[in-house]
Amino acid sequence: MSVATKTKRPTAAQDARNWRTLQRVILPSQSQMDTVPLYLDTGSATGVQLPTTGTPGREKKKVRTVSAPSKEVHVEDFLSRFSTSVRSGERVSFGTYFNAFPASYWRRWTTVDNIRLSVRTAGIGSVIVYKSNSRGSLQRVDSVHVDGDVTSTFDLSLQPFGDGGWYWFDLVAGSKPLVLEAAEWQSEGEARTPGSVTLEITTLNKTDFCINNLRLLSENPEALAQVRELILVDQGTQKVADAEGFDEVAAALAGKLRIINQDNLGGSGGFSRGMYEAVQNGSDYALLMDDDIVVEPESIIRLLTFSDLCKTPTIVGGHMFDLYNRTVLHTFGEIVNPYRFQPDLPSADMTLGHDFLGSNLRQTDWLHRRCDVDYNGWWMCMIPTRVIRAVGLALPIFIKWDDAEYGLRARQHGFPTVSLPGAAVWHVSWVDKDDLVGWQAYFHARNRFIAALLHSPYEYGGKVVRESHYYDIKHLVSMQYATARGRNMALKDLLAGPGQLHSLLPGKLPEIRAMMNGYSDSTFESDPDSYPAPKMDKPPKHGHGVRPPSPLTLIPWAARTVARQLTQPVSASSLERPQANIAHIDNRWWRMSQYDSAVVSNAEGTGASWYKRDPKQLREMLAESARLHAQLLRDWPKLSKQYKAALAEITSIGSWETTFAAHSEKSEN
């Protein structure tokens, strides 16, 4: 049912009497026009249509409609963060990431059953409401003609959204421009006092990002209205408090900012500090955010509103977009594959790195299916302090797997996690990173095993041990000896048990870096001319470069490759000069295994290192890796019991309090 009425502007008190705001329609600032597709869609309404006829017993084939190209947007049409003008004769849709209403999430996780869309317009035109189902089929719900200053309301049910689907609306202008003055999605009920939030940012030598985010938050006081404290946990040597512009933003935050200086305890140490402080100061929620992000301030309000209305205490996180390609979504949600114990996508239809510029919400069917997750990344994640008191703080594992393990642990205690569409940050992408090579490989390997020992449903961890051994072999035949050494160090520390995890936090990274300084494959030069010019003693066979083995020949091919690397001496010339320059994109184990030496670019493109084959190191590390993995597999049940027994203690507020006291210096700002 819809109603369009000419009304006087309602006061805030009148709005709050019976209807509370769930989600406001927002627009990008005029300096962020590259993000317009996330807020406004000027293309045609499209979707997936299921045929009405078909052969009984045979699955109906989806038919995708084709969209017309989007029209140009004009900066001058964006009147404010909440208002825009639609030019005469044109149509715009708010069926977009930030402005469509994710109905299936509200139906599944909150106490809300029915909603109201309120749209305030000035001018002549139409307001048309649509919905979708979990298959991405688009359906017209209602429409109303508007003329003059009008508030149109549409009462809508959430009942049909069991598996997925969104609501949104389009505006069609008449012979003159139609102005959207404001719109919001509401639910019936008395206004309630929102929960209180401690917003915590963990940082390490990213002062420019921090100052920018603090300034952005200070310019959006509504986003901070329920924030009790904004805590910056500074673990770096370049202190944010010493950065240019800090005094200005600190003053603008009106006493809410507090800086805690502590040693580098990694992300788990910084975020655990935020959880700890939220519990200590009596907040209802801890909102954790990374430092190298740009936040959409409205996301803070949306996370809090959703969290307050959840049926049970729920971890609610935002999505991550690429900071340097701002319409690209990292992932719509993540689970942990229980057999491989690796991050995975919940549905085979989903894709990583979806670009809304190429295919917007109405054109992408898998975005309409509700995505249920195991965890949310801590680039932006709101955790109720009730959950923290029951579950504990993060594992003391420095970086990697702390957020995933926490989500799995919370679920075991009956607390779900939701990745909420319409709440997001822009984060530095991992496209130009390779954290499986180098110092981070230690934390990847060790922490994946710790999480699997705690949560794997398989007696011996499923595929995780065997797959880890394969990784070691690939690194070693690729001449990545420093990485392999770090992974072996990880297994040794893992086998030593959980009791040392807190003590390893401040010193493990310097130890790994010192070890890696002794390997040429982890020593980088920014100038490519620092290395001798490459030369091959023999030309490629038949003029072809190295080709990957086929699946049928992979195992015998790999066995021959390892045997050759163990027995064949390294050519003298390859010790004096590399045989090739290899771009990072071509740094694949099956290619690198065919060289005696090569200069390889890093993922960031800022330098290169010289890989050199060493049969002695290969032999020693292969044997060590095989021994450690065999011991891990043999002792898995025993180790699993040890880590599970220690979990409550090592993640407790008391244990972390002791660690914080030994490694921090608190100062108020």
Catalytic annotation, residues: 403
The single-letter DSSP state of residue 374 is S
Our separate counts of H helices and E strands in the chain read 18, 26
Judge whether 593 and 613 are in contact, CB under 8 Å.
no
Beta-bridge partner residues of 287? 199, 382
End-to-end CA distance of the chain: 52
The SS3 call for residue 257 is: strand
Half-sphere exposure of 178 (CA within 13 A, CB side): 24
* DSSP SS3 for 667: strand
Q: Which helix (H) or strand (E) is 172 found in, with range?
A: strand 167-173
Q: Where are the beta strands (DSSP E) in 235-385?
A: 257-262, 285-289, 293-295, 315-322, 325-329, 335-337, 342-344, 354-355, 380-384
Give dist(CA 382, CA 395) in Å, integer: 17
Among residues 190, 210, 178, which one has the least CA distance to residue 94? Answer: 178
DSSP 68-97: PPPPP--GGGB-SSS-EEEPTT-EEE--ST
Residue 329: strand pairing partners: 321, 354
Give me the sign of the Cα torsion angle 283, 287, 290, 293. negative
Dihedral sign (CA 615, 618, 620, 622): negative
β partners of residue 604 = none
DSSP string, 532-555: PPP--SSPPGGG----PPPTTTHH
| 417-430 burial code (b ≥16 CB/10 A, e <16) | bbbbbbbbbbbbbe
Contact 402, 275 (CB under 8 A): no
DSSP state of 51: -
- CB atoms < 10 A from the CB of 606, how many? 10
Cα–Cα dist 120/8, whole Å: 11
Which residues does 459 contact at the CB level (< 8 Å), separation at least 6? 636, 637
Three-state DSSP at 599 gives strand
Residue 567 φ then ψ, to 5°: -110, -30
Encode burial over 221-257: b for 16+ CB neighbours within 10 A, e otherwise.
eebbebbbbbbbbbbeeeebbeeeebeebbeebeebb
Q: How far is CA 580 from CA 440, 475, 537, 595, 610, in A?
A: 26, 18, 11, 8, 10
Would you say 431 and 352 are in contact if contact means Cβ atoms under 8 Å apart?
Answer: no
Phi-psi region of 604 (alpha: psi -120 to 50; beta: other; left: phi over 0): alpha
